[in-house]
Structure 1
Amino acid sequence: MTDNTGAEQAAQRRAVQKLRMPTPRVWADIAVLLTLAVIGLIGFQPSFGGYSFLLPALGGLAVGAASGIVASMYRLTLVPTILVALVAYFLLGTALAVPQQAFLGVLPSLQSLTSLTVGAVFGWADIVTLSTPVGAPQYIPVVPYVATWLVALVSVSLATRWLSARPRTAWRFGVALIGPIAIYLASILIGTEDPFQAGIRGVTFGVLALIWLGWRHQSAGSVSEEASRRLRARKLTGTAVVIVGAVLLGGGAGFWMAPAQDERFVLRDEIEPPFDPLQYPSPLSGFRHYTKQVTDDVLFTVDGLRNGDVIRLATLDSFNGKLWNVTGADASTGGSGSFRLVGRSLPEQTFVTPDARRDVVFTIGDYADVWVPSVGYPESLDFIDGAASGATDNLRYNGSTGTAVLTSGLREGDSYTIDATVQSVVTAADLAEVPIASVELPPVEGSPDVVTSKAQEYAASASSPAAQLEAIRIALATQGFLSHGRASDSVASRAGHGADRIVDLLERNQMVGDQEQYASAFALMARSFGYPARVVMGFAPEIADGQAVEVTGDDVTAWVEVAFDGVGWVAFNPTPDETDIPQDQTPKPQSEPQPQVRQPPRADTDDEDLLSPVELEETDEDDEGAWFILPGWVYVLGLSILIPLALLFIPMFVVGLIKARRARLRRSAPPHHSVAGAWEELVDQFSELGYDVPAATTRTGVATHLEDQVAGERLVPLSSLATATDEAVFSGQEISAERSEAAWSEAQAAVEAGRRGLNRTRLFVARYRIRSARDWAKRISTKKTGENGTG
């Protein structure tokens, strides 16, 4: 009876020891650190223009703190602690940071999990480049959530594991304060010129931190009650002095020495926001400026081009019914409006049939704009002369369209050299069997009905995509007439390329216009078939190989590029050459259908894939509709189930890979080491199954210890296997491959015997264990227990 009672008490003591509850002193440390973090995070208010950030910020603080406390109570090591914190971050982050993306209001969805990841990585850059108050994108609230989650996790872990187990020195407390200080500084740096309660927050933060540092020691137990009262009184007096001094000195210094509002340092004033081309007029809308106002002006000089080359200025893939423009960066991260800061080397273009151009030199004349004239897809751009030579920090590039911009603008005298890849000329025969590439482009809006009807009329006899596009190009080029609307033109041609101008072009008895209208009409017709088409504006001067050419406004042109799978963006030039426009009759179609394909404005241009040439786009709306046959909630429910399963089984899969690699390396070693590796693998697997494996002892001692833990009916002669391993290792004899394989077979049989009879929970947990990590955790736990016992 006495023995049973003693065993029960011992089991209860072990259970209590396993669950390590924080002491009152540790709870006080946690409360101080979290309070300091709250004082710091309130400084986010100017960036958000209100208190909407408090829910994700305080939620992140609670999630991080709870993760740290739970990990400390269950004595989890570093890796399990991180896993617990990450699981809590993703499971609770949806409801706290992006509730509008949640499934049923609180459950994670694929969109919310993506926002929690993207916001943690890219939200910091967005919050200092977007104008305040920051309200978009939707993942912006993830910034205060992830910041407070991380600070709370680190601060609580330090308080429960580090401060509680070591002497409470001032420098250790200073290390614990790094997290709250980081939050405080972050709220200042990503804020605005208007501080939020800077004096009150600063003094409160300083006073609380100083009091905490001053009261870090407790009175010794051996001190008399009288001495303890005197010491407490002195501490209270000192604390009062600290508070008064901090308020008077800190507040006064803040009032007299604080910088002026316009001198306040915040990152958003130092970091230039991403270039937004939508703030500038569409380059194509200024087409007539070149043809009528700067016709003979030398815009720039180019040296190094070949006959047939064209100069690219801007690529436009979005149509809103009024004009063609670039895609806004908020609509597509890989669209034509997404420009990234680059250096001399530019991203390499892979979606192209390449033809190299080297040392093409541009020298700016009367041209003055942010769009950088270039050729093909530039691989490097080096300013060599003029004012722009020191402005490479302002160069931005879109790798999917081959378009560069200089935010400070080009000026007369600027000069730069380009190495580029251009799209090789492709004939109609080359494209006869080539499918259209699958490329993501923004949808066309406001396209007139006449575009679709005319496209079907022109391409009625064609079957392949290339044949349809060539038929449309020939119809426009042979039935239409060219006019820039100059006084010298026989028929006036109205400017513009919106829906009304395209209706006017296609419904009149005579099609009259210039590259602006024909390129817009052709691109809309190609889009009506579902083909990825974009409009390119540039210049097509007459070029003689090896000679420099002066580019004037009269050389301006526009063409259309269509993406073909495995080929690249192929150029089509639908603009007619005929300028003699009949006055009284409907013109007859020209009888010379140029058999050769497209051709950009008499040049082979470059092409590039907005994404990459993926699978071909064989169907249109029918295939798109098939994806939405099931209700949307079915997909959301499926993802909500799959994501927790992934969090459960992916770590198991990773641990399994580590174990398999460990066994493979041991088994593939030379036979002498392979036999020893078989024993090491046996011992590791027994440890991972939960058996107690003694350290720093002989193989025979380990075998005897393990045999004592295995039930009688599953008894395995591990001692004989240990003896055989010792003999193989220390005998110095040659070990055959057969003996090595036999050792591995015996070891695996012993492990299987050790598995039999274990419950399912123990076997399941073994899948997550790695012996090296388990031994490390045991050493850390033993060390801490020894230190606490000594204290």
Structure 2
Amino acid sequence: MSAPTVPPTATTPASGRPPGAPAWTSLLAPLASGIAVLLAGAATGAVVGGGAWVWHAAAAVALVVVTGTVLVRVRPWLAAPGQLAALVLLVTGWFTDSGIAAVLPGPTALGELGTLLRQAGQEIDTGLPPVAPTTAILLLVTLGFGTLAIAVFGLAVTVAAPAAAGVPLLVVFAVPTALQSELLPWWSMVAAAAGYGVLLLLRPDRLRQAPGGVAVVVVATVGALLAGLAAGAVGTAGRFDAAGGAGSGADGSIGLNPFTSLHGQLTRDEPRELFRVQGLQRTTYLRALTLQTYVPQEGWQAGRPAPGVPLTGPLPPSTSGPAAEQTVQVENLGFRDYWLPVFGDPTAVGIESESWAYDASGGIAYSERPREEDGWTQAMRLPEPSADQLRGASGPVTVDRTYFDTAGVDPRVAAIAQEVTSGAATPFDRAMAIENHFTGPGSPFTYSLATAPGAGGDALVEFLTRGRTGYCEQYASAMAVMLRAVDVPARVAVGFTAGDEGGSGRTITTEDAHAWVEAWFPGYGWMTFDPTPLADGRTVQPGYVEQAQEQQGGTPAQQQPPTPEPSAAPPPPAEGGGGAPEPPPGADPDQPGATAGAGSWWLPAVAGAVLLLAVLLTALVPGWWRRRQYARRAGLARAGGAGAATAAWDEVLAASRDHGVPVPPGDTVRGAAARIIDRHGLTGRPAQALQELAERVEASWYGDVSPEPGTLDTLVDEVRAALAAGGSSLRATMLPPSVVPESVRRKRSAPDDEPSGEDAGATDPADAGHR
């Protein structure tokens, strides 16, 4: 009697192939798990530059697959711990110079890895895709792909549940979406679908079904392709909060920190052209969005725009008083976002799409989904009040009180603002005093993309009192809060400077990304102030600011020293500031919400990875224990002798329980066999095999007729194969009922479902399976 082909959920041994199958087929499932991870992670190529990440990902996945394939044959439970150890040895030897014997992770090597992971976190926070394949990013890619390969291998191979392995395959999108501020390409969906199809299809017990399986996978992949083309892409950046739609007035938020994008644009290795503008007679800032909410220690946050009017229709003015009229043409060279940047106070925007709305109170043009328009025209008002007019501005406050909010701000900030403006009699003079505090002659503040390190206190206080070094984010954030502290409504605007003049118009690039302050005055509206001490000619000073500076006897912007290069070291901190070393260019202790512990995100990430592995091991243990039971019983049944019948019968009862039909302990052997045949719908040869097995068990127990070697194991395999053919739930695969402790089973099962004996369905001639 030949051994049948058996699905791995029922009878596949630790070798990974059904009985009688060629030895090479045991490599199919491990190979499929590796291919699936690499295909699902193909989207990483959209966010990490170059091809180095491919080799690092492939090396990590190959090491995990090979290690797991070897260990699962020795002891299945060793696979995941062994794979994790191999991955640690790989990254230690590859990314550190201080490993013991080059690959063993000692304290120094672990410190190096921790530093690289922190650096990777900083590069993610400040980078724009495609990010450079730095050592830190490649370490993150290697660990990410390696860890996910361990999870997929454990589910698809160790416990033979390839369908469940689709869950960790989704996690492989975590690295691309963490780095991608735009949307991932459609082909990432196709690759993921194809990888999952390979995982399900490339199995020893499915080779005969390969033609049909390939057809199903092709249809699913084509479906993913069509869905990808319809959706355009997948990603996370800048997405509105799901609570309410645009225009609903819900207090939602966007997913991308505007300052993260701002810093990332300024630190790009190669500037990227974004817009070309023609007809701009007087330079002014190009505003993308405004920020009205300040959260201490977290910074300025972008909220959902107020209900707007169609951008293609008449636009309500947000300023009043004297103004110059201009019309410009904007050509989009590479900008895609939820925000359509506008100059000044727009009065009309000529654009083909009707998907845009305009919030006059925030000065924001926005859409419900990111768009990339070819170009548009814009008519605008550029306010031209004089300094004296703004000094005399008076009237009722019609702006939202949110623009005065300083709740939770450190009292020291208010004290500094009051001291700086102590001699200013009007809101305009207070605004000028605060701007001159940052840009005036003798100011200790300097511009640099490498901000000065903090000491773990309030980030805003640190910047104002000790660091005094930063870029536009820090200056605009500080001035807006200080204005509010002296009762001047203020907000932060994020966008671009006017760029550089050329033969075909002004070109605006990522280097022109900028943040500034807008203060509100009764009768005039929102007026621009820029406290960033730039000296490269990009600062736009409105006429009223220049007039006020002339009245004060100087033009501070012209008296500033040359702007430090982004990589230049900031000046020493003020007295008492200590000698803390300068952080790398990506480090930004004054980033809103940053403290001395910021950037240590890798600690919870590592803890999460350990937890994931712990959960994975917990999920693997029951399945491994069930396989161990089968191997032990099958060995006893195959050997024949006194214990063969009991072992064979215990395995049949356990298999029946695993597939939903427990046998009450009071049933006789023949009654139990009849119950299994009836409840599982066995017919033909499987039913005959079970009846024959029952007769041999009775002969052994009651007639002292010991089975001959090799007479029971094939009967058991035939019955198990038939039971498995009826289907197996994920719970039965991951947590087989036959390995649940008896006390737990009694609490969760009905009385007639309670098993007895050592294992589920275990029988003894004295109390179970017979009378």
TM (normalized to structure 1)?
0.34
TM normalised by structure 2 equals 0.35
Larger helix fraction of residues: 1
